[in-house]
Structures are given as structure tokens and as C-alpha cells.
């Protein structure tokens, strides 16, 4: 461990990017691909098997059927990585072509294994979501049964275990993983990891640092937006060179039915792999009526259903009503056969959880009705059923836990970039991570959304191997499904440009391209000095009047502007767009704006005579409003391609 003086001396060295305390980062925890209008029948490129997706996560379970290498040839010639077999505990194949693990600080403890093998489950789940093979009849104990698959089933996987069960993800391990992934020759990096709270500077964040160097080397980095929503300014991994992914629902949700002895039926939310299938009723008891008095609990404390708070003699073989949300450990230990409880907050969860026993999370008023039934019935009875998947016609909408913008580091840069399925996702799992040795599991998080976009990016890369990370990112952003602020009042701060649409992104028409030079200008405009800049770039780049570029001129596919409420505003953005559609094409602009916002685009027509031709345009935003958020859009269309950019004007 460095002393403060040593850290200060080290940070002054020319070859050092920055010095900061190594912290622990968090993991951001299949119908989904079909829901994205990406069917199994979608055309795949022959080049897909040459695309390498690097996963920085908790490792992988190589024996999973999702990673079988039958029919795969040897790794691509560009691959320079290795496989750490770790005393024969781990074996790579022609699907998982490389695997490393990192634990540079402290000791490996508990259930963790000094190997790329995954004992947590998170990394296996993410890897199979991005690039898993098609596996028929996959399910979690019969739930979500169907074909599990990733976006690019023929792509290769390179695994970098930088996170550990109950030990998090050390900054030094994350940076080491980035370094090796870049050197090994991956095409896409997927990292469902981030800080628990937003960073203040991009270069005190290892993911921002590592991803900058990845993008500099032509590697797109897809990362999760974080799970601290729905509060504002909670989005993480918000650097402009990162593709930042929020989490949204698919059109399937899981319910757990509660039946009462009086015939009433309630539909709650849970992932129960067990429970009453035939509707058998059991005695119903309030937790407050079953305190474990010998351990010092009374009615007021037993109602929380904490471990040890319930009297087993009173709850054995019964369904327990908990008056506060919990994971069901207390009722399980006390021998209950089921639990009923209200949500964490006043609103029922928009994602399903697994509990320690069959349980159902119900609306507050529904729990109150069940309590009244229990209080007014001499022998109250109830059952909690096994979960079942039902259609959710409201999907997609951004889930409550998904972190929201605005961008806490750069206010005039819209984040997250887009959203993808991250709720109740079925994918491969590590049997070491579950008591039941589950091979496939259903979990939720922006961690699950991120690999959907990573797989989508790899899909685009397989058809367009020469495209830059920014071009692929632009294609995904400008072709996203438009979402509604009626379902998410935070609008673009919840879902960015919208819901990812990999099929449309394959042919975006136009792209907003950018490279290291553009990000250097952006950093200079953010106040970085030449000395600090050169520590990052490793070259002779300088922050001068020519390279000090305002955020409004970063060639980004979205537009954001911070204003003062009730005061006139005006800002001009400059963009350059590249033709990747038809060689001879004319694009006309169409803007949609609410009252209080005037949008002027010059020119209003862009004419292209060749592929890869570039055209520049100017966007001026002006107006005055008392609204906290104005949502608008700009679309370039040639009648075939619609290249859409969201525009957000908001008060800080």
C-alpha cells in the first residue's frame, strides 16, 4: 500500500495516468432477444466466429452447454491471449478461447477459487447473454422454459475474472483486466461493473481509464448504468467513449398467486421454483402473532420476519404474513411453508425476486386485506403458489432500480445512452452459486442489460469489421426503438435514445463517428491540462485554443443542454455525419420540439454522392421555459433510413 507521499511522487511521473485509492466496485445484477425483434432466424455473418467478446466479470462456468465448442474451428489468428488453467481447475476451448483471473490485493477467501472459474454466477450469466450458444429447453426449474441464447452465438469469448463473490471488484484488478483484454485482441469489451455512487472525475475511475485505452485501440466498451434508480444523477460509467446501458422490462413477468380460504385470489410478484401447485391451503398466521419471546422478540418486532424472530412452534407448516419486506429467511428458519409481504417501498416491485421459501410480494392494500381476513376469521387458510410467467403488455419500460441521469460528471452529455432487457432474464449460471446446483437462472439488473448491448455491438461488428467503436455506438443509438415518457417520467434520463434494436442498427444509414482526437478535445474542453492529457494519451497531444473544444462540438449522436428555469437560453451544436448507407442519397431533417423550445438546423438537406462521405451541420437550440425537462428529437431521413437523435433541455 502506498503512503500519501509515495502516491504524490508516483502521480508526478510522466508515464503514470493517475493515482487514486483502489476501491471495490459492484456487480450491476430468454425471451429477451425475441422481444428485441432479433429472432433466431436473423441472418448472421460468416465473420461472426472471428469476433471476440471480452467479459470483465466474475469468471465463467466453462462446462455450461451455452459455451460448448462443437463445430468451432481454432481461435482467430489475431488472438494473442492465454488460458490460465490453474492446476487443471479450468479448461478453455474453441468457444472460450481465453481466460484469466486477477486478485492483486488481499487474499482469496470463502467460496472463491483461484481460477477463472465462476463461483458467483454473474459472469456466466452475462457471458451467455452476450454470446452463448443456442440451448433448447433451458429453464429455472420450469420457469421461462425455452431456448437460451446470446446475441452472437458463433462469436468467441475471452474471460477476465476481475470480480469475486462477496469481495467485489478491485480497481487494480479491473485495470489489469482491461490491459490484458486490449493486448489479447478482443473486439468488444462487456463490463457489468461500476461504482456504487457517481464519480466526480473520469480519471479517478478505472472503468473510464481502461475504456479510454480500449477505444483508442478500436475496441467498443459496453457498460451498465448502475442499479441506484430511480433517483436522478445516479448513472455511472458515463464517459462519452463508453456505451452506457440502462435496464428495461420484456413482455414477460413472473407472478406468484396467493389464495385464501374465503376464495379470494391475489397476484403478487416473486420467482418461486416451489410452492402450492394444486392449491392446497395451509393455516395462515400473522408474524406479529408468533413472536419468539424466548429470544426477546415481541409482536412489534416479530412482524418484520427477521431471522430468529418467529416462534417455530407457532409457524411450523403455516403461511406467515410479514408486515415488512424481507427475503423470507425468518419464516423459512421457523418452518413456514410460505410468506406474504408488502413491497420495499409503497409500490410493488417491477421485477421478480427469489425468496428463501415460496413467497409473494403484494400491494400494500392487498396485504392489508389479507390481514383483515386473518383477524376476522377463526381458522384462516392460505396458499402461495409456484410462480408462472405471464404477458406484460406495458413493456418495455425502464425498471425502477435502473440508474437515471442527468450525467453527474458532464451535464451537457446525455446518459444513459440507451436501454436493453435487464429484468427477469434467463441465462446460464454457475452451479456453485446456488444450493440447488442450478445451471440456468433468472436475475435482474443493468448487469443483464449490458451484455444484450454488448452482443448487439458484436453483431454489428461481424458485418462491419472496419467500423470504429463510435460508429457502432452511433448505429445502436440512432436506430433505437423510441420509448414513451408516459411510462417513465424521467424520459431520456431513464432510457437515453430508447430501446436497443440490433436489426435496425445493422443498417443505420448515417453514423456520428469519433476517435481519440475527438475525446482529447473533449477532455481539454473539460479543463484537463496538457500535462495530465499526455499522461493519458502517451503522445504529444496538447490542450491549446485549437484543441479546447466545447462539449457542444463533441460528435455525439445525442444532444443535451442544461438551462436555468425561466431564463432565455441559446446554444449551438456542431456535428459531422458519415454516410454508411446508399452511395447516392439525400437526407432531409425533421425536428420535433415542445412549446418553449425552438430548434434550427442548417443545412436542412444533406446530399451524399459516395459511401463514407462526410457532411457537417449545425443545430441551434433556443427558447425559455419553466418546465424541468423538455424532450425533442432530430431525425435525418432519406426515406429508407431514419437516423434519430434525442434532444434534451433541462434545469439542473
Check pLDDT > 90 for residue 548.
no
Average pLDDT over residues 314-318: 98
**Is 57 noted as a catalytic residue in this protein?**
yes
Q: Are 46 and 110 found together in one domain?
A: yes
Question: 436 to each of 121, 142, 227, 429, how far by Cα in Å?
Answer: 13, 14, 27, 11
Do the beta carbons of residue 267 and residue 389 sit within 8 Å? Answer: no
Alpha-carbon torsion, ordered 486, 491, 494, 498, to 10 deg: 90
C-alpha cell at 316: 411450523
pLDDT digits (tens, 9 = 90+) for 432-446: 997 677 999 999 999
Do the beta carbons of residue 130 and residue 146 sit within 8 Å? Answer: no
In whole angstroms, what is the distance from residue 528 CA to residue 523 CA?
A: 6
Nearest alpha carbon to residue 447 among 472, 412, 422, 465: 422
DSSP letter string over 368-428?
Answer: HHHHHHHHH-SS-EEEEBPPEEEE-TT---B-TTS---S-SS-TTS--S-EEEE-SSEEEE
In whole angstroms, what is the distance from residue 383 CA to residue 400 CA?
A: 29
Beta strands per DSSP E along 203-358: 220-224, 243-248, 252-260, 265-269, 282-286, 319-321, 338-341
- Does 549 map to a domain? no
pLDDT grade for 237, boundaries at 50, 70 and 90: very high
Q: Where among 391, 426, 453 does a domain terminate?
A: 391
**Is 68 noted as a catalytic residue in this protein?**
no
Q: Are 283 and 244 found together in one domain?
A: no
- Does 544 map to a domain? no
Higher pLDDT, 541 or 56: 56
- List, in sequence order, the alpha helices (H) in 28-76: 31-35
Q: Are 233 and 301 found together in one domain?
A: no
- Does 538 map to a domain? no
Q: Structural domain tally of the chain?
A: 3
Q: Are 574 and 483 found together in one domain?
A: no
Q: Are 371 and 454 found together in one domain?
A: no
- Does 56 map to a domain? yes
* φ and ψ of 49, to 5 deg: -70, -10
Catalytic-labelled residue, pool 32, 50, 115, 122: 122
Check pLDDT > 90 for residue 386.
yes
Q: Are 87 and 222 found together in one domain?
A: yes
Q: Are 339 and 246 found together in one domain?
A: no
Beta bridge partners, 651, equal 563
In whole angstroms, what is the distance from residue 220 CA to residue 514 CA?
A: 12
The CA angle 22-27-31, to the nearest 5 degrees, is 160
Strand (E) or helix (H) holding 530:
helix 530-537
Q: Where among 448, 479, 507 does a domain terminate?
A: 507
Higher pLDDT, 531 or 189: 189
C-alpha cell at 505: 442498427
In whole angstroms, what is the distance from residue 161 CA to residue 89 CA?
A: 14
In whole angstroms, what is the distance from residue 113 CA to residue 165 CA?
A: 10
Question: 35 to each of 481, 492, 631, 644, how far by Cα in Å?
Answer: 12, 21, 26, 21
pLDDT digits (tens, 9 = 90+) for 579-611: 999 999 999 999 999 999 999 999 999 999 999
The CA angle 92-98-100, to the nearest 5 degrees, is 105
DSSP 288: G
In whole angstroms, what is the distance from residue 636 CA to residue 410 CA?
A: 26
Do the beta carbons of residue 352 and residue 254 sit within 8 Å? Answer: yes
What pLDDT, on a 0 to 100 scale, did the predictor assign at position 197?
A: 81
In whole angstroms, what is the distance from residue 619 CA to residue 512 CA?
A: 14
Q: Where among 368, 391, 414 does a domain terminate?
A: 391
- Of the chain, the percentage scoring pLDDT greater than 70 comes to 94
Rg (CA), the chain: 26
Check pLDDT > 80 for residue 17.
no
Which CATH number fits the domain that encloses residue 310? Answer: 3.50.30.30
Which CATH number fits the domain that encloses residue 638? Answer: 2.60.40.2310
Task: Count the Cβ atoms, other than its own, within 10 Å of residue 283.
Answer: 17
Catalytic-labelled residue, pool 50, 57, 205, 417: 57
- Of the chain, the percentage scoring pLDDT greater than 90 comes to 84
What pLDDT, on a 0 to 100 scale, did the predictor assign at position 27?
A: 52
Check pLDDT > 80 for residue 11.
no
Check pLDDT > 60 for residue 8.
no
pLDDT grade for 24, boundaries at 50, 70 and 90: low
Nearest alpha carbon to residue 318 among 391, 258, 380, 385: 380
* Residue showing cell 499526455: 534
C-alpha cell at 162: 476481475
What pLDDT, on a 0 to 100 scale, did the predictor assign at position 25?
A: 59
In whole angstroms, what is the distance from residue 479 CA to residue 646 CA?
A: 11
What pLDDT, on a 0 to 100 scale, did the predictor assign at position 409?
A: 94
**Is 349 noted as a catalytic residue in this protein?**
no
Which CATH number fits the domain that encloses residue 412? Answer: 3.40.50.200
Average pLDDT of the chain to the nearest whole number: 93
What pLDDT, on a 0 to 100 scale, did the predictor assign at position 29?
A: 42
Average pLDDT over residues 116-131: 97
- Does 512 map to a domain? no
What pLDDT, on a 0 to 100 scale, did the predictor assign at position 32?
A: 95
Do the beta carbons of residue 573 and residue 610 sit within 8 Å? Answer: no
Cis peptide before 396 (omega within 30 of 0): yes
Nearest alpha carbon to residue 504 among 363, 642, 348, 326: 642
Average pLDDT over residues 213-227: 97
Check pLDDT > 80 for residue 471.
yes
- Does 535 map to a domain? no
What pLDDT, on a 0 to 100 scale, did the predictor assign at position 256?
A: 96
Q: Are 221 and 289 found together in one domain?
A: no
- Does 547 map to a domain? no
Q: Are 257 and 242 found together in one domain?
A: no
What pLDDT, on a 0 to 100 scale, did the predictor assign at position 538?
A: 63
What pLDDT, on a 0 to 100 scale, did the predictor assign at position 532?
A: 76
- Does 532 map to a domain? no
Q: Are 493 and 561 found together in one domain?
A: no
What pLDDT, on a 0 to 100 scale, did the predictor assign at position 26?
A: 54
pLDDT grade for 430, boundaries at 50, 70 and 90: very high
Q: Are 56 and 181 found together in one domain?
A: yes
pLDDT grade for 13, boundaries at 50, 70 and 90: very low
518: exposed, middle or buried (Cβ count in 10 Å: 0-12, 13-18, 19+): buried
In our burial notation (b when 16+ CB lie closer than 10 A, e otherwise), range 232-257 reads: ebbbbbbbbbbbbbbbbbbbbbbbbb
Catalytic-labelled residue, pool 190, 374, 400, 447: 447
Q: Are 203 and 265 found together in one domain?
A: no
Domain that holds residue 356: 253-391
Check pLDDT > 70 for residue 503.
yes
Check pLDDT > 70 for residue 129.
yes
pLDDT grade for 542, boundaries at 50, 70 and 90: confident
Amino acid at each position: 500500500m502506498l503512503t500519501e507521499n509515495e502516491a504524490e511522487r508516483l502521480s508526478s511521473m510522466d508515464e503514470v495516468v493517475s493515482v487514486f485509492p483502489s476501491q471495490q466496485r459492484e456487480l450491476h445484477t430468454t425471451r429477451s432477444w425475441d422481444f428485441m425483434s432479433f429472432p433466431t432466424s436473423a441472418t448472421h455473418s460468416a465473420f461472426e466466429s472471428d469476433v471476440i467478446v471480452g467479459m470483465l466479470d466474475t469468471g465463467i462456468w466453462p462446462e455450461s452447454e451455452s459455451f460448448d465448442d462443437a463445430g468451432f474451428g481454432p481461435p482467430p489468428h489475431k488472438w494473442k491471449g492465454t488460458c490460465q488453467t490453474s492446476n487443471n481447475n479450468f479448461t478453455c476451448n474453441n468457444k472460450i478461447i481465453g481466460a484469466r483471473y486477477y486478485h492483486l490485493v488481499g487474499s482469496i477467501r470463502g467460496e472463491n477459487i483461484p481460477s477463472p472459474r465462476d463461483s458467483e454466477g454473474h459472469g456466466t450469466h452475462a457471458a451467455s447473454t452476450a454470446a452463448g450458444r443456442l440451448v433448447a429447453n433451458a429453464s429455472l426449474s420450469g420457469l421461462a422454459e425455452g431456448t437460451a441464447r446470446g446475441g452472437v452465438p458463433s462469436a468467441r469469448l475471452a474471460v477476465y475474472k476481475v470480480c469475486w463473490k462477496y469481495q467485489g471488484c478491485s480497481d487494480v484488478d479491473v485495470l489489469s483486466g482491461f490491459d490484458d483484454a486490449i493486448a489479447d485482441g478482443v473486439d468488444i469489451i462487456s463490463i457489468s461493473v461500476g461504482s456504487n455512487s457517481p464519480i466526480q472525475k473520469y480519471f479517478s475511475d478505472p472503468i473510464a481509464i481502461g475504456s479510454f485505452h480500449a477505444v483508442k485501440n478500436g475496441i467498443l466498451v459496453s457498460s451498465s448504468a448502475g442499479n441506484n434508480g430511480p433517483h436522478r444523477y445516479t448513472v455511472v460509467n458515463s464517459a462519452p467513449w463508453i456505451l452506457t446501458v440502462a435496464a428495461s422490462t420484456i413482455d414477460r413477468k413472473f407472478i406468484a398467486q396467493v389464495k385464501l380460504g374465503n376464495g379470494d385470489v391475489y397476484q403478487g410478484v416473486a420467482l418461486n421454483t416451489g410452492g402450492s401447485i394444486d392449491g392446497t391451503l395451509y393455516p395462515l398466521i400473522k408474524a406479529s402473532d408468533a413472536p419468539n419471546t424466548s429470544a426477546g422478540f415481541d409482536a412489534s418486532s416479530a412482524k418484520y420476519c427477521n431471522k430468529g424472530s418467529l416462534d417455530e412452534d407457532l409457524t411450523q407448516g403455516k403461511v406467515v404474513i410479514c408486515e415488512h419486506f424481507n427475503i423470507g429467511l425468518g419464516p423459512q428458519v421457523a418452518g413456514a411453508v410460505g410468506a406474504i409481504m408488502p413491497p420495499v417501498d409503497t409500490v410493488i416491485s417491477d421485477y421478480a425476486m427469489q425468496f428463501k421459501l415460496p413467497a409473494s410480494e403484494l400491494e400494500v392494500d392487498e396485504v392489508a386485506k389479507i390481514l383483515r381476513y386473518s383477524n376476522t376469521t377463526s381458522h384462516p387458510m392460505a396458499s402461495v403458489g409456484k410462480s408462472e410467467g405471464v404477458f406484460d403488455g406495458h413493456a418495455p419500460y425502464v425498471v425502477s432500480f435502473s440508474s437515471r441521469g442527468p450525467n453527474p460528471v458532464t451535464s451537457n452529455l446525455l446518459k444513459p445512452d440507451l436501454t436493453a432487457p435487464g429484468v427477469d432474464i434467463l441465462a446460464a449460471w454457475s452451479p456453485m452459486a446456488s444450493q440447488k446446483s442450478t445451471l440456468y437462472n433468472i436475475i435482474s439488473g443493468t448487469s443483464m442489460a449490458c451484455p444484450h448491448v454488448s452482443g448487439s455491438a458484436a453483431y454489428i461488428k461481424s458485418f462491419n469489421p472496419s467500423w470504429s467503436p463510435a460508429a457502432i455506438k452511433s448505429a445502436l443509438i440512432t436506430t433505437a426503438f423510441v420509448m414513451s415518457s408516459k411510462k417513465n417520467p424521467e424520459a431520456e434520463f431513464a432510457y437515453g435514445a430508447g430501446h436497443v434494436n440490433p436489426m435496425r442498427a445493422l443498417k443505420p444509414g448515417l453514423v456520428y463517428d469519433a476517435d481519440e482526437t475527438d475525446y482529447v478535445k473533449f477532455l481539454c474542453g473539460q479543463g484537463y491540462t496538457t500535462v495530465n492529457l499526455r499522461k493519458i494519451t502517451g503522445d504529444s497531444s496538447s490542450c491549446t485554443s485549437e484543441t479546447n473544444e466545447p462539449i457542444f462540438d463533441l460528435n455525439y449522436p445525442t444532444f443535451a443542454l442544461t438551462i436555468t428555469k425561466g431564463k432565455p437560453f441559446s446554444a449551438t451544436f456542431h456535428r459531422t455525419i458519415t454516410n454508411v448507407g446508399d452511395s447516392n442519397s439525400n437526407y432531409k431533417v425533421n425536428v420535433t420540439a415542445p412549446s418553449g423550445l425552438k430548434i434550427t438546423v442548417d443545412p436542412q438537406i444533406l446530399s451524399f454522392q459516395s459511401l463514407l462521405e462526410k457532411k457537417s451541420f449545425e443545430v441551434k437550440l433556443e427558447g425559455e421555459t419553466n418546465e424541468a425537462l423538455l424532450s425533442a428529437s432530430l431525425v435525418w431521413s432519406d426515406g429508407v433510413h431514419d437516423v434519430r437523435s434525442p434532444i434534451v433541455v433541462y434545469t439542473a
